Amino acid sequence: MFDPHKDVIIVSMTNTAPEGLFGAFPDQVRDAVYADLGLMPG
């Protein structure tokens, strides 16, 4: 995921397909990274 507005790049390499592509996993990773950085997603 790349967020050009916040200058954030998230790379996750897992074996969780299709959950890793279409499930809640990508959103959960994004939310955790943004929370750690003190940012709001979106």
Question: How confident is the prediction for the chain on average, in pLDDT?
Answer: 88
What value does the mean pLDDT take over residues 1-26?
88
Contact 23, 14 (CB under 8 A): no
What pLDDT was estimated at residue 37? 93
Q: Is the pLDDT of residue 41 over 80?
A: no
Confidence of residue 11 (pLDDT cuts 50, 70, 90): very high
Contacting residues for 2 by C-beta, under 8 A, at least 6 apart: 8, 9, 10
